[in-house]
Amino acid sequence: MPVMGRNQSAQALQVRGRLFLIDCGEGTQYAMVDRHIPMMKLDSIFISHIHGDHVFGIFGLLSTLGMKGRQTPLNIFAPASFGPILKFFLSYYGDGVGFEIRFTPLKMKQPEVILETKSLEVRAFPLRHGIETFGFHFAEKEPQFNVHKEAISRYGLSLTEIGSLKRGEDVIREDGSRISLAYAAYRPYEPSSYAYCSDTAPFPELPQWIKGTTVLYHEATYLESFASLAAERGHSTTLQAARTAAEAGVRRLLIGHYSSREKDTSLYLKECRSVFPDTSATNDGDVFEF
């Protein structure tokens, strides 16, 4: 339900210069404009399910991209049930969309790779929410090593030797001498990962599917006192979200998707931290870097 100061589900995720949108609830394009998120640079949109609070903003966003003159194709990954919605939009408003929309219907029963780039792998996996719903896992790939410039001159490295170091290998020369990777090269960054799990009731496989994730966003629609209502509606409580994070061994937990009956998010935070201390309760406009 609408709550003043609390927009509906939408997250912008930036990975190595690429911009992704996860869900597109009502008012998403206004939130992007307000927070200076460049919608024209969107690479892909990921829709978890077709409940209105996760998808009612998509018509406005696509129309605005068309009016702004976007030419670059746009990927949309969503449940197959989104197909008729997209067809309806294009049948009435498609003349204003001058770019290709590449829709990929999600049908998997186990985690599957749905998008892969040089530096990133995105997997989708089924959630449990009464209708067809999917979560998403974004994982940076291990980057190649960078070779220290001073090492190139110090050791007189050949192109072949530089290639070996970039692959993470020590250099063994014909005279038996060794140039250690630890001294000659370095990783430019440690790869991070992000999992988005909303909306869903807890289920046994989920912690294994997101094992070791750097940051997990997990819905926590209800306080623990409403556990029976959460089960009835296919949602999670605070403690269920926290237990999933703990079992999965994630580094940090973000919670959101609060029930409209609760205005004080500190109540959610307190309950989650009793199980998983490194929890943050998200609010509109929050920015997390990892």
Q: Which residues does the annotation mark as catalytic?
A: 53
Of 21, 207, 205, nearest to 122 by C-alpha is 21
In this structure, what DSSP letter does residue 38 have? -
The C-alpha atoms of residue 89 and residue 97 are separated, in whole angstroms, by 10
Rounded-to-integer distance, Cα 270 and Cα 276, Å: 10
Backbone angles phi, psi at 204, to 5 degrees: -60, -35
CA distance 285 to 290: 16
What tokens does 275 get? 């199980």
Phi, psi of 71 (to 5 degrees): -115, -25
Q: What is the CA radius of gyration of the chain?
A: 22
Return the number of other C-beta atoms located less than 10 Å from residue 267's C-beta: 16
Q: How far apart are the first and last CA of the chain?
A: 31
Least Cα distance to 250 among 208, 203, 216, 204 occurs for 216
Residue 135's DSSP bridge partners are 125
| Helical axes 265-273 vs 238-248, angle rounded to 10° | 40
β-pairing, 178-179 vs 171-172, is antiparallel
